[in-house]
Chain A
Amino acid sequence: MTIGARARRPRLAAAVAAVLLSACAHASPPPGGPNVIGYIDMQQLVQKHPLYDQLEKYDLTIEAFDLRATVPQATASDADLRKREAELEHELHAAATRTQQLLDQKQQQYQQQEQAAIAAALRGAGFGGPTAAQIAGSVTQTAQAQQAGAAAQMQHDYASYRTTLQSQDRAQLVAAQKALSGKAAREYSAQAEQLQAKESALSLQLANADAPTRLALRTKLSSLALDDAARDDAQKQLADLDKKEADQVAAMRNRDEQTLAALQTQLRGQIQQELNTQASSISKRSLTSLAQRQRQLAQQIAPFSGPSVGKGDTSGGSLPAPLRARIAQLHTDYQQRFQSDAKTTIADFQKTREDLSRRYAALHGVAGAAAGGAQEQIATLRRKRDDLYDQITGQIDREVKLIAQQRGISVVLSDVVAPAGGVDLTPDALKDIESLHQ
């Protein structure tokens, strides 16, 4: 059977055992003896311990984290992440296509206007026919091809740079969160341990102080000759004693829990604040780097953008110098008009891309930090849970030792598979553990 299945079973075991054992609770206690072996159901006793609620809270929280951070869940997150990435990529691609279509339309429109103006100028100077269109159109095709290639390269470089940055950001964010969580966990544990030690010391101190009285009362109660009134009185004294100790420990525990809760809130706030600051700083730095890279790439691509008629155009070589100057002037004018018009469209696209980049970075940063954080939390919770479990079983062990001593039983085992002939000390231990609640 797998570990997971095993881990859940003792709960059921104890539940079933509790029901079945209750039927036998009033049976006469089996005799003890120096060579008799006893046994206890540790799981059942743990469930009756006053600190079990706290232990169960740990179990519930761990279970919740496990449900969120199980491997299948991690895969689901990963698939979810990929889906959201794809959506963002799709949005970016759609924005780029829209922008390119707009630019193409504008380019075509300005080219036609430029060609018409050049053709009119040529006709005015006595040069008719297809030559005018050839002069205006031939170089534009080359420019378009160069522009398309450069734009594709720019897009590729930009995407690659963005991926690298995001990977670095994620690593930095996870490392930051790990360091902050570790620091907070250490601070919390130190405080919790200190308070726990004080609680244990108080509990022990009270138990030791009352031990002779308690033993005397129990001995009195085990006497068959005791009349009802005296028995009631002894039981009341014992109950009062238990209550007095439990009240003192509970009061201290309540104060400690409040202290710890306040500390936890404070630490969480600190972590979140510091993490937000670091995440914001990392994100800002990355976005600045991305914008810088985008500007560099835009500058590299600038010579290819917009319609262009080369100055050394051979097809216009036979034209008179003033006409060539006029054509060049027309081209410059239309190029400036197109670039001015295109600038708004490109700015819109850049804004969209920046927004998508920001969302992309956030998506990766948050996912990475969340996954790392969950594992860290589970490990911390398990350690605390184990510490608490050890404290509980330690106290049960002490109670059982007292009972064994009273019953004269030399050996007591816990968690046996089948007790074929031993003495079950669980009911006696249960009474003692339950009295801690009072």
Chain B
Amino acid sequence: MEHITRGRLAALVFALGTAVLGTTAVGATDVTGIGTLDQTILGSIPAFQTANRQLQQYGASLQKQYLGRAQHASQSDQAKLAQEFQAKMADKQRQLVAPLMRKAQVAVASVASSKNLTVVLDKRMVVVGGTDITTNVRDLLTGIGDPVPPVSTPPPSSVGFVDQQAIDATPKVKSASDDFLSFKNQQDKAFSDKLKAAHTDADRDAVLKEYRKTLDDRQNTTLKPVIDQTRSAISDVAKQKGLVLVVDRADIIYGGTDITNDVTAKLK
């Protein structure tokens, strides 16, 4: 299952969304049927550990190959090489982990259905509450025989989700993102040279502060307008669908209401 961290673009969209919607939270909708799953515990199941070990070995070998080829390559060739190796890694991941993932998904669906859950979230994003189904799922995965899929599909959930990658791929967002990345690459090179020329800690701190400010300023001019539009689109769709919250797809393990298509349509 995809490993995720707490900080990402979703947080940005969320943060801006919060400002607009925070005052409308009075009279919040009741939410029941939220489950949680600790993926690190599932990751300790021997089958997952073996797959992960194989994946790490493959990753280490790819890393060596990449460094060997990238050492004398130009910057643009290095970017192409990085893409090529990332694709290889993703293929290997699919090959090694996908069968286990499918089995795990069936197990999660089976447990969620039996407990009348409408959505199961990654435990790391749940600070309080929710029904933890980790032990049940682990027992199913390590027990004899394959887990049996539930007869019914998940009931409608008031927790919605968007696929951040799909939103990132929309022309407007992608263009802004590419523009920022290109700018960042230029600045990385320029500030790397400045950093080399800095001889004291104070000089280095000043260079780093200037580097951050330069990037932050560019973010404000390039990315913020697009993020505002994204925020507005997600909020509109969430309201139309009567959803309580919208989370990133990466945090959804089971169920939830997918509003990605509605949001991307609004962004076009």
A contact set with B: CB distance below 8 Å: 1-2, 4-17, 20-21, 23-24, 27-28, 30-31, 33, 35-44, 60, 63-64, 67-68, 70-76, 78, 393, 397, 400-401, 404, 409-424, 426
Contacts and interface: CB of A to CB of B under 8 A. Distances in A.
Contacts of A20: 15-16, 18-20
A8 B128 contact: no
A73 to B, nearest CB: 5
Given A2-B181, A411-B128, A14 B244 contact: no
B99 interface: no
B11 A8 contact: no
B177 A1 contact: yes
B40 to A, nearest CB: 12
Interface stretch (B48-56, B70-78, B102-110, B140-148): B70-78
A418 B17 contact: yes
Nearest to A15: B216
Contacts of B160: 418, 420
Contact of A21 (B18, B70, B234, B239): B18
A74 B28 contact: no
Given A63-B208, A417-B248, 19 more contacts: A5-B184, A7-B7, A9-B9, A9-B11, A13-B11, A20-B18, A30-B26, A35-B30, A36-B31, A40-B127, A43-B7, A43-B11, A64-B204, A67-B188, A71-B75, A76-B189, A411-B31, A415-B6, A417-B164
The secondary-structure label for the interface of chain B is helix
A72 B15 contact: no
Interface string B241-256: 0011111100100000
Interface in B226-248: 231, 234-235, 238-239, 243-248
Contact of A400 (B70, B127, B173): B127
26 contacts: A2-B181, A6-B8, A9-B8, A12-B219, A13-B14, A17-B18, A17-B19, A20-B15, A60-B208, A63-B208, A68-B195, A71-B75, A72-B189, A75-B70, A75-B78, A397-B127, A404-B128, A411-B126, A411-B129, A412-B129, A413-B245, A414-B127, A415-B7, A416-B14, A416-B245, A424-B18
Given A13-B12, A13-B15, A21-B22, A419 B72 contact: no
Contacts of A63: 208, 211-212
Interface of B: 6-32, 34, 70-75, 78, 121, 125-130, 158, 160-162, 164, 168, 173-174, 177, 180-181, 184-185, 188-189, 191-192, 195-196, 204-205, 208, 211-212, 215-216, 219-220, 223-224, 231, 234-235, 238-239, 243-248, 251
B77 to A, nearest CB: 10
Contacts of A78: 71-72
A38 B130 CA distance: 12
A68 B198 CA distance: 12
Contacts of A72: 75, 78, 185, 188-189, 192
The residue in A11, A12, A73, A393 that gathers the most chain B C-beta atoms within 10 A of its C-beta is A12
Contacts of B30: 33, 35-36
A42 B11 contact: yes
Query: 6 nearest interchain CB pairs?
Result: A20-B19, A17-B15, A13-B12, A411-B129, A35-B30, A420-B238
